[in-house]
Amino acid sequence: MSKKEKKAKKAKKQRKIRKTTILFIVLDILVAGCFLLCYGPYAGFRNLIVSTAMSTKSHQYIAYTFWSDEVIQDILAKGAYIPINEAVDLDQIVIDTAPKDTYENEYDEAILTRDPGNEDYKYMKVKVGKYDAHLVAIYDPSKVELIHSKSFNTGKGQERIKDMCNRMGGAVCINGGMFIDYGWGSDVPMGYLIKDGKIIWSDHSGPADLIGFNNDNKLLLVNATGEEAINMGMRDALEFGPFLIVNGKPLEFVDATVGGYNRAARVAIAQRKDGVVLFLVTEGTHAAGPNMLEVIETLQLYGAYNAANLDGGTSAQLAINGQIINTPKNIYGQTVTGGRRVVSGFGLILK
């Protein structure tokens, strides 16, 4: 082998060594960075990953791969809330949704000032924290009803909110209750569903947080069995929670800086003292979106007296006149065209 060939071979070997060295340096930096994010003094990344992973059963292994059960439970506890131990006082709800000559503030005016030619509802774009959101004021609470998939636990009843809404004669609809999720959704509810004063689905017989409207068209939030709720006058309801506002009093959190649960797309239903019903749906994903405290603060601005959290995340859907208004996204931030298949919600039904 000539000197020139030996020199070229040596240079090639040195280049290979340099590339390998650079690769290992980059890997070391990545590993160190990951270690700092997972175990370093900054808790934001760790809290985000744990709370996001633990919000869905199919991804909890991610949290347990890197952290102990003790660490995970400590993180989750910081997002915990203190349930409101108070019965709703529905006597304070006096239904009178007519336009007024004067308003308490700009938010009151925004709710009660109708859009020309529309006496049924008003749609508004708002902000919840830093996130875009959609607020609908519904003026006749007697027309707010439970909506549900066309069949349960058959495989043939799967529907998106916009399709469910159209089938049931709805103008404005939001998703609501729990269901068994196979990744794309299902037609298998979890918990109670009550329609027209009858239990149409239940997978248990114990008490639960029930959200719905009674025969006086007032938002009834109660922890009870389905039968007990019906005896209280419940006409349409689903099981979910937590209750966010009861008799004007907001839910409190163990750590107010966390604001409850994790950040995600949110859905909530509320009623003002004048009877106006509020549907609130925010943008976001499982890992990015408003926290519960920001949802509560927004609802309070617009006069919510009683309010409850509904199923959010990928399930978050607002349909108006057959069109999805928000942008549902899955846990990876990808748009779910048309929305996820869900089992229940609430709708403004104009039959």
DSSP assignments along 26-69, one per residue: HHHHHHHHHHHHHHSS--HHHHHHHHHHHTSGGGHHHHHHHS-H
Kindly indicate the confidence band of residue 256, based on its pLDDT and cuts at 50, 70 and 90. low
**Do 122 and 46 sit in the same domain of this protein?**
no
Cβ burial, residue 327 (10 Å; 0-12/13-18/19+): middle
**Do 29 and 142 sit in the same domain of this protein?**
no
**Do 67 and 115 sit in the same domain of this protein?**
no
**Do 142 and 227 sit in the same domain of this protein?**
yes
Q: Tell me the range of 76-80, 236-240, 253-257, 289-293 where mean pLDDT is highest.
A: 236-240
The pLDDT of residue 204 is above 60:
yes
What are the angstrom distances between the C-alpha of 171 and each of 73, 103, 165, 281? 42, 27, 7, 16
Burial code (b: 16+ CB inside 10 Å, e: under 16) for 50-66 equals bbbbbbeeeeeeebeeb
Question: Higher confidence at residue 286 or residue 305?
Answer: 305
Q: Is residue 225 a contact partner of residue 205, using CB atoms and an 8 Å limit? A: yes
Q: Is residue 178 a contact partner of residue 141, using CB atoms and an 8 Å limit? A: no
Of 50, 78, 106, the residue at which a domain comes to its end is 78
Other Cβ atoms within 10 Å of 133 Cβ, number? 25
**Do 192 and 239 sit in the same domain of this protein?**
yes
Query: What pTM did the predictor assign?
Result: 0.81
Domain hosting 43: range is 3-78
The pLDDT of residue 54 is above 90:
no
Kindly indicate the confidence band of residue 284, based on its pLDDT and cuts at 50, 70 and 90. very high
How much is the pLDDT for 67? 57
Of 78, 98, 123, the residue at which a domain comes to its end is 78
**Do 74 and 187 sit in the same domain of this protein?**
no
How much is the pLDDT for 181? 86
Q: Average per-residue pLDDT in the chain?
A: 86
How much is the pLDDT for 257? 54
How much is the pLDDT for 43? 47
Express as a percent the part of the chain with pLDDT over 70: 76
* Packing angle of the helix pair 3-39, 44-54 (nearest 10 deg): 70
The pLDDT of residue 198 is above 50:
yes
**Do 139 and 10 sit in the same domain of this protein?**
no
The pLDDT of residue 307 is above 60:
yes
How much is the pLDDT for 34? 46
Q: Is residue 324 a contact partner of residue 161, using CB atoms and an 8 Å limit? A: yes
**Do 99 and 173 sit in the same domain of this protein?**
yes
**Do 158 and 246 sit in the same domain of this protein?**
yes
Q: Is residue 139 a contact partner of residue 97, using CB atoms and an 8 Å limit? A: yes
- d(CA 10, CA 1) in angstroms, rounded, equals 12
**Do 155 and 73 sit in the same domain of this protein?**
no
The pLDDT of residue 83 is above 90:
no
**Do 272 and 294 sit in the same domain of this protein?**
yes
The closest of 260, 304, 298 to 282, measured between CA atoms, is: 298
How much is the pLDDT for 42? 42
Other Cβ atoms within 10 Å of 273 Cβ, number? 16
Of 49, 78, 107, the residue at which a domain comes to its end is 78
Number of domains, the chain: 2
The pLDDT of residue 261 is above 90:
no
**Do 21 and 161 sit in the same domain of this protein?**
no
